[in-house]
Amino acid sequence: MTYSFPPDLHYDRATHLWVRDDGATLTLGLDALGLESLGDMAYVTLQAVGVPARRGQAIGTLEAAKMVGDLIAPVSGVIAARNEDVLHDPGLVNRDPYGAGWLARIAPSAWAGESAELVSGVQISAWVVEEIKRYRSQGWIE
């Protein structure tokens, strides 16, 4: 199977969330490999707009075919928007993970430092190859 990882995004190694720098805000969503390992999204909750977000802490929950767990923020800041469409139709995350299936937008407070912790640019290809090997060895994907 082929997994799409747009090269203009940043990726969190631990959570398989992508981050797009939109200027004043950062848009977050689940990457293709993370979605493959989770299966079909059944339920999504997200913190309210205005709530602080801290890198490494929960900003919501995900319930999918293969897992239920916290949605962990890949960056710090304040939640500026949440995708109401995804809250009503979680399957949108699976159908269009890099477009209409985005999860939240954060007004960043430490982007310059935290972005260095994310995978981006020329690092993406090698990271994806290693992640696919790791996921296969764990039986999370075929």
pLDDT at 140: 78
3-state DSSP call for residue 12?
coil
Please state, in angstroms and as integers, the Cα–Cα distance from residue 63 to each residue in 14, 40, 42, 49, 66, following that order: 18, 9, 5, 21, 8
Residues of the chain with pLDDT under 50: none
Domain 10-135, CATH among 2.60.40.1180, 1.10.1040.10, 2.40.50.100, 2.60.120.380: 2.40.50.100
User: For residue 35, what are the β-bridge partners?
Assistant: none
Residue boundaries of the structural domains of the chain = 10-135
pLDDT at 70: 94
pLDDT at 128: 92
The verdict on pTM exceeding 0.85 is yes
Contact 32, 41 (CB under 8 A): no
